[in-house]
Amino acid sequence: MPDWKTNGIRVVRAGELDANTPQTPGMTRAAAITHARAAAEKLWAGTVVVEPSARTAAHHHGDLETVLYIVKGRARFRWGEHLEFSEEAGPGDFIYVPPYVPHQEMNARADEPVEAVVVRSGQEPIVVNLDIAEANEFPVPFHPRPGERS
């Protein structure tokens, strides 16, 4: 019979997240569910805080699938061969990033951070940076949705 006490549910408390993860300027990542911390074999989960106006370079995550859940703020995602597609997400929204999709993540606002939960389908921190000139262009300014403050 399995030892469910040792091999059962793991709780990683808010103050126990591990910031010893790959970082991007303007973004702070912290790992919660990893092999080392919770014996996870197929998932990685953690948090990311994106400072106002911060953005990543164009990249993809290899064969990993990624899900983000926006807790606070307004995130903008650009994707495609030339980052020609764009969408924004706010609190309560989920974002799915399929494997190998060229994309760029950014904070759509200049006055508040974005806070999100990130879940990936693997343990490796795969980031393949891409040379896409459009990643350096300033994207369309933030446009609030009806009822949202500008």
Residue 29 CB coordination number (10 Å): 20
Is the Cβ–Cβ distance between 99 and 62 less than 8 Å?
A: yes
Which domains are delineated in the chain? Answer: 27-135 (2.60.120.10)
Task: Note the pLDDT of residue 118.
Answer: 95
Report yes or no: 78 and 85 within 8 Å, Cβ to Cβ.
yes
Q: Is the pLDDT of residue 2 over 90?
A: no
Structure tokens at 10: 């793991």
Confidence of residue 140 (pLDDT cuts 50, 70, 90): low
Instruction: Identify the pLDDT of residue 113.
Output: 96
| Tens of pLDDT, residues 4-39 | 887 788 888 888 898 888 777 888 889 999 988 888
Helix ranges, the chain (H): 4-7, 35-38
For residues 62 and 46, give the distance between their C-alpha atoms in angstroms, rounded to a whole number.
19
Q: What is the pLDDT of residue 136?
A: 83
Check residues 144 and 111 and name the one with the higher pLDDT. Answer: 111
Q: With bands split at pLDDT 50, 70 and 90, how would you rate the model's confidence at 147?
A: low
Distance, CA of 28 to CA of 123 (rounded, Å): 18
Confidence at residue 66, expressed as pLDDT on a 0 to 100 scale: 95
Query: Distance between CA atoms of 119 and 58, rounded to whole angstroms?
Result: 19
The C-alpha atoms of residue 48 and residue 11 are separated, in whole angstroms, by 19
Residue 51 in this model has a pLDDT that exceeds 90: yes
Q: What is the number of alpha carbons within 13 Å of residue 29 lying toward its C-beta?
A: 16
Q: What is the pLDDT of residues 59-111, one digit of tens each?
A: 999 999 999 999 999 999 999 999 999 999 999 999 999 999 999 999 999 99
Between 56 and 144, whose confidence is greater?
56
pTM for the full predicted model: 0.85
